[in-house]
Chains A and B, each alone.
Chain A
Amino acid sequence: MSPMTLKPGSSAQSAYNLRSTLPESHERHTLSVLVDNEPGVLARVIGLFSGRGYNIESLTVAETDHASHLSRITIVTSGTPQVIDQIHAQLERMVPVHAVTDLTVLGAHIERELALVKVASTGEKRVEALRMADLMQARCVDVTLESFVFEIAQTSDQIDAFIELMRPLGLVEVARTGVAAVMRGREPME
């Protein structure tokens, strides 16, 4: 029957791919949203998520094109495939939104997050912290006789792992930026 054989994502206008949406399956998706950097745009996006009960695991935003006042918002969210599709469509119809890219659907992409991790310890633990940081490619950006601040730019999972390593070694506090992401290869996202 032809309606069933309609190719998934056969055109931009059909908007929805026809992959199965079992309500049980939860997926984590990274969305990249290009928006006009106008007042209230972040409030609008966040209001959409809170108003409709969608999850935000991470959200980052900054102006990426100063000349045309465009900002890129990177959102990591989770939900059933149907909810993810809804989020995509709801974002896309907002007036200041230029483009929404679901990087998880598109495939190979790079995700990075930056964390600043403060560790205070002396003696053996201090040495061990430095050694671990070196292994995990964290950089020391501040040092006193009793503390380090490490900077680590990695995937969120790697950062989680690094923080766990530091916990017994005198972890004091953590600041994280949230995820930024782009596609692999030479093509732009939109």
Chain B
Amino acid sequence: MTTEMTGAEIVVQALKDQGVEVVFGYPGGAVLPIYDEIFKQNEIRHILVRHEQGAAHAAEGYARSTGKPGVVLVTSGPGATNAVTGMTDALMDSIPLVVLTGQVPTFMIGNDAFQEADTVGITRPCTKHNWLVKDTDRLADTIHRAFHVATRGRPGPVLVDIPKDVQFATGTYVPPEAAQTHTYAPRTRGDRAAIEAAVDLLEQAERPILYTGGGVINSGPRASKLLRELAAETGFPLTSTLMGLGAYPASGPAWIGMLGMHGTYEANMAMHGCDAMFCIGARFDDRITGKLDAFSPGSRKVHIDIDPSSINKNIRVEVPIVGDIAEVLEEMLEIWRARGSARRDTAAWWKQIEAWRAVKCLTYKPSKTSIKPQYALERLEALTKGYDRYICTEVGQHQMWAAQFMGFDEPNRWMTSGGLGTMGYGTPASIGVQIAHPGALVINVAGEASWLMNMQEMGTAVQYRLPVKQFILNNERLGMVRQWQQLLHGERYSHSWSEALPDFVKLAEAFGCKGIKCDDPAELDDAIAEMLAYDGPVIFDCLVEKHENCFPMIPSGKAHNEMLLGDASTEGAIEAGGAVLV
């Protein structure tokens, strides 16, 4: 192999050497040389999306379901700006993405050239790091560093901006081993003294809780395995954030459901009442804590996180441990076992939790005439349980119901936009997941409004024969917005309904996939079975109850023990102070 290559050749070679199998992209003038090289080879598969935002979310879906970085290739200017939402989403949810953008030639930069945008300037706050490469000799090294930075420490999106003349010029290729990656080496081993202090707390806690998050999943399958061991050996109850679902199985004995704004009563009450909290790869986000100064007032807290800036950001903890979850858990278990630590008697605490669980906070009023969204998801869950299944979502009520009513027993099976809350995430994400897992059942649980935001990607699904199932809970409302308006804005439903919706069945046919419509609870099972039996993409229009609210709910500005359990409890529940919060 010659080490002298054109910049475009270097790009493709670097991707191959990084083990990249698939790139999600969209061509344009400033990346044509790279597309030319992609054309000449078969090792790397290129998936042509329909919008660059779709490319970024598809790459996120790919990354979250595989643990490998997702790769995006787009052109300069509008190509890059269209990918910004996806990068911001990946930054908030710590998803490794490598985004390659074309740029106008170096000698035109700064002249407002056609399709010029200050891509590194625009994306500086929404990437973990980015680079503008002005010299072909630096290109290979930079791409390798990009992969290194995206995947090391707290993962995130990175961007490499490549001017067109740099793609044409020749330069020297260096392989990944020769790249200058040593300067970025976040620590992964936790501090021994702190880990021992955490084990002390494991031994002494009377009302403990394991509060886990997406960091467990990002750390890899070993972290999930160790978490399960920790839960089994301590017998502690375990809850998870939206991002962490599946790290511990929903069918496991320690599981008390998701916590947070729409989490279970038992999980939030246990967070409030615990005396020892073990935060493992989560970040005390405002959806989790509710009112900060009323958050878990009686507990001592351990926080394990790979990112030091996550620690003591919102909540002060007594035992901070900076490190990779798997490494820290391993050491924690080692110490716990070496000490022959006696398992605490948590029976009284569990009895309390069972009493909270007996409230049955997810109960809803069933209906024979209309499909309740919760019912639809219960049936979807029941009918897909045995499948090799991956679930994506959009953003809104349906997302929270999916988190509440679907169970995840494995990590990397649940793809949802948590930190940014990006409507339009689910459809492209489902495409990315299906690319990575061709034989699996991939479902996007969607709201009709979110789904319209990136529905063009059905073209991608059809082109690549990706049998993604778009399960739309169609309440003809921006349901989550409507719920807030009902609770916070005197039932003034300002612009929160979906008018002039397309006929989703006809839309499906227009795209060349299958459309199914169902509005009768009695027919729902058959309709879902029909969707599952169809070997191709499906758009399922599930017409659901329009004014259903998502409960439980911790209103903004309230504490965990002030959660609303149902419509009856909502009157006047949110005060003016809470209304300014999001």
Seen from chain A, the residues whose Cβ lies within 8 Å of a Cβ on chain B are 1-4, 6-7, 10-16, 18, 21, 36, 39-40, 43-44, 47, 51, 82, 85-86, 89-90, 92-96, 98
Contact = CB atoms under 8 A, between A and B. Distances in A.
Contact of A93 (B121, B192, B198, B309): B309
A89 B326 CA distance: 22
A16 B193 contact: no
Given A2-B200, A89-B311, 9 more contacts: A2-B197, A3-B300, A4-B318, A11-B194, A13-B190, A43-B121, A89-B309, A92-B309, A94-B129
Contacts of A89: 307-309, 311
A47 B308 CA distance: 19
Contacts of B191: 10-14
Given A6-B319, A13-B187, A47 B300 contact: no
B49 interface: no
B320 A16 contact: yes
A24 to B, nearest CB: 14
Contacts of B316: 21, 82
Interface in B303-333: 307-309, 311-313, 316, 318-323
Contacts, number: 96
B127 to A, nearest CB: 10
Given A1-B204, A3-B319, A47 B125 contact: yes
A93 B197 contact: no
Given A11-B191, A13-B322, A86 B309 contact: yes
22 contacts: A1-B200, A2-B201, A4-B300, A4-B318, A11-B191, A11-B194, A13-B187, A13-B189, A13-B194, A15-B320, A15-B322, A16-B320, A39-B132, A40-B130, A44-B124, A51-B125, A92-B308, A92-B309, A93-B154, A93-B186, A93-B308, A98-B183
Nearest to A11: B191
A4 B318 CA distance: 6
Contact of B193 (A1, A14, A39, A85): A14
A40 B118 CA distance: 12
Given A14-B320, A40-B120, A6 B312 contact: no
Nearest to A23: B293
B414 to A, nearest CB: 27
A10 B194 contact: yes
A92 B311 CA distance: 13
Contacts of B319: 3, 6
Contacts of A85: 312
B9 to A, nearest CB: 25
A36 B183 contact: yes
Contacts of A16: 308, 311-312, 320
Main secondary structure of the interface of B (DSSP, over half): mixed
Interface core residue of A11, A39, A86, A95 (most chain B CB under 10 Å): A95
Contacts of A44: 124
A11 B319 CA distance: 12
B198 A15 contact: no
Nearest to A98: B183
Nearest to B204: A1
Contact of A3 (B121, B189, B192, B201): B201
Contacts of B307: 89, 93
Interface string B392-421: 000000000000000000000000000000
A95 B194 contact: no
A43 B311 contact: no
B377 interface: no
Interface string B190-211: 1111101110110010000000
B273 interface: no
A6 B195 CA distance: 11
A11 B309 contact: no
A13 B318 contact: no
B322 A6 contact: no
B311 A15 contact: yes
Given A4-B318, A44-B124, A89-B308, A10 B183 contact: no
Interface in B158-197: 183-184, 186-187, 189-194, 196-197
B73 interface: no
B30 to A, nearest CB: 19
B356 to A, nearest CB: 26
Given A40-B120, A40-B124, A14 B309 contact: no
Nearest to A2: B200
B499 to A, nearest CB: 37
A6 B193 contact: yes
Contacts of A6: 193-194, 197, 318-319
Contacts of B322: 13-15
B320 A86 contact: no
Nearest to B306: A93
Contacts of A51: 125
B276 to A, nearest CB: 9
